[in-house]
């Protein structure tokens, strides 16, 4: 296994101190990948992978199902889980800043078969998401160009995202920074304007006086009962998927000792504020039973206060959110392919990089995979594509669980080799409570999958697929040994 820094062997007794090695490796490469991303890129990449149509469009559905207070509780629990996972990942990423980190940590601390399976699941998760983002982008453009075919716009955006990823990692990071910035500005404006309307500082249609927080308890604390809070909790957990992209980008980050901890904490804090703040504003200004997915709650609020072109503005914001998610998706997919090639599990061609440190063959393969998923959504939507979506649906939970297991085992190995926690470049707070809490919450989410009839079918697809991944690994390993 090839590591970019000597810190890949940190738990061994001869390991150098982390802070020294990070400075030496700030401008070096990891197996051909260049360390060109900065802390601001990492933060926005993580935000960009999470903030999307789930917040801008589907958040109204969460309020309608769980009620205002129930929705806030669900997002608060989701934020806690993300925080637990991210601090674990932060410590691992600083100690061992591998590109495509998840399955390399799993290989070292769990087992190579599990590592291979995690990499395949995560790659498939983003490949399927990438296909849906391109479809959504084409449909969004029809608001402004109603007579144009959506596939033509999808093709344009496919070319743009491919170009951003193939040219250089810094260009990718810069594009993601600006894509995510547009979303962040829109959310901050929404929260500020919403708070002014809640307090009566701005007029809003349907209210003669300041609405304050009356809508929160107008029909009781939980108008649909407590059960929908748990069913929406699963949706909320999946809505936060994408934060872990920080770990994938660790191997291409300048000075990971400083950049990764900063990105971890600022990302989680901003996500909690953006998601919970937005949900609170929506719930205060829109009666819970009027929320839904027919119209974005952001559009409803902006229209109620008389904002001109509210629909067009939000259509532009959602379009940037979609392109941001697609940009992150192709990046993550390609780094997973590159990492598998470095491990010798797939042809070495996919580990080759160009003079800018971009794994071109890995990007091409990942784009081809997303296009095949896109094709299956048109040709075999009720069979092949349905299975792909089901398998990819639980990939995030599997990755999060594995990160926490790796963190616990890393700490044990670190202590066994005679090191103290004060030698760590970044020390996750709350150890060992937070990793164990995160694992318990991941298991709880899987229990919700079993109990929810609409989600249960994902397990029927997921379990045999995981078994096939383990079988494929052992066959590949046997062939490699021969």
pLDDT of residue 74: 87
Residue 477 to residue 396: CA distance in whole angstroms: 26
pLDDT of residue 34: 54
Residue 296 to residue 293: CA distance in whole angstroms: 6
* Cα 51 to chain centroid, rounded: 9
Domain ranges in the chain are 19-481
Residue (of 265, 296, 290) closest to 278 by Cα position: 296
pLDDT of residue 361: 92
Residue 388 to residue 393: CA distance in whole angstroms: 8
Residue (of 444, 323, 400) closest to 84 by Cα position: 400
Q: What are phi and psi of 92, to 5 degrees?
A: -65, -40
With beta carbons less than 8 A apart as the criterion, state whether 28 and 35 touch: yes
At residue 34, the 3 state secondary structure works out as strand
With beta carbons less than 8 A apart as the criterion, state whether 109 and 410 touch: yes
What residues of the chain score a pLDDT lower than 50? 1-29
pLDDT of residue 276: 87
- First-residue to last-residue Cα distance in the chain: 19
With beta carbons less than 8 A apart as the criterion, state whether 47 and 184 touch: yes
pLDDT of residue 10: 40
pLDDT of residue 5: 34
Residue 241 to residue 122: CA distance in whole angstroms: 11
Residue (of 234, 208, 245, 218) closest to 330 by Cα position: 245
Task: Give 19-481's CATH code, choosing from 3.40.50.720, 3.40.30.10, 2.60.260.20, 1.20.1740.10.
Answer: 1.20.1740.10
Give the H or E element holding residue 406. helix 395-416
Cis status of the peptide bond prior to 432, with omega within 30 of 0: yes
pLDDT of residue 295: 65
């Amino acid at each position: 296994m090839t590591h970019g820094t000597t810190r890949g062997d940190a738990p061994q007794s001869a390991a150098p101190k982390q802070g020294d090695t990070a400075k030496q490796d700030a401008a070096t490469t990891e197996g051909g990948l260049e360390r060109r991303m900065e802390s601001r890129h990492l933060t926005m990449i993580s935000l960009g992978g999470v903030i999307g149509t789930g917040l801008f469009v589907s958040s109204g559905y969460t309020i309608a199902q769980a009620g205002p207070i129930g929705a806030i509780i669900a997002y608060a629990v989701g934020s806690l889980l993300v925080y637990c996972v991210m601090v674990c990942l932060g410590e691992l990423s600083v100690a061992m800043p591998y590109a495509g980190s998840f399955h390399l940590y799993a290989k070292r601390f769990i087992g190579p078969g599990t590592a291979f399976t995690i990499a395949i699941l995560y790659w498939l998760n983003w490949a399927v998401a990438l296909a849906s983002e391109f479809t959504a982008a084409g449909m969004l453009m029809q608001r402004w160009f109603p007579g144009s075919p959506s596939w033509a716009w999808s093709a344009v955006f496919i070319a743009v995202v491919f170009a951003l990823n193939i040219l250089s990692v810094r260009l990718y990071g810069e594009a993601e920074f600006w894509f995510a910035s547009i979303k962040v500005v829109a959310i901050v404006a929404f929260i500020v304007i919403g708070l002014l309307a809640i307090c009566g500082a701005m007029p809003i249609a349907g209210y003669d006086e300041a609405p304050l927080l009356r809508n929160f308890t107008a029909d009781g604390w939980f108008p649909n009962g407590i059960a929908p809070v748990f069913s929406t909790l699963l949706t909320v957990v999946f809505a936060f998927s994408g934060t872990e992209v920080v770990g994938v980008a660790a191997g291409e980050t300048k000075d990971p000792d400083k950049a990764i901890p900063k990105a971890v904490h600022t990302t989680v804090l901003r996500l909690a504020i953006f998601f919970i703040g937005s949900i609170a504003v929506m719930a205060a200004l829109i009666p819970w039973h009027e929320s839904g997915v027919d119209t974005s709650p952001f559009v409803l609020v902006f229209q109620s206060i008389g904002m001109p072109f509210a629909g067009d503005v939000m259509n532009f914001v959602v379009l940037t959110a979609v392109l941001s998610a697609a940009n992150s998706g192709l990046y993550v997919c390609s780094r997973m392919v590159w990492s598998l090639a470095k491990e010798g599990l797939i042809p070495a061609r996919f580990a080759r990089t160009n003079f800018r440190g971009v794994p071109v063959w890995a990007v091409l393969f990942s784009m081809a995979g997303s296009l095949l998923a896109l094709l299956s959504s048109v040709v075999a939507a009720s069979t092949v594509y349905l299975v792909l979506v089901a398998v990819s649906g639980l990939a995030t939970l599997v990755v999060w669980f594995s990160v926490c297991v790796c963190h616990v085992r890393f700490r044990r190995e670190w202590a066994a080799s005679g090191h103290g926690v004060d030698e760590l470049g970044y020390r996750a707070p709350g150890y060992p409570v937070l990793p164990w809490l995160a694992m318990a919450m991941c298991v709880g989410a899987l229990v919700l999958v079993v109990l929810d009839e609409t989600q249960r079918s994902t397990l029927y697809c997921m379990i045999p697929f995981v078994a096939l991944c383990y079988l494929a690994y052992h066959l590949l390993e046997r062939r490699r040994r021969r």
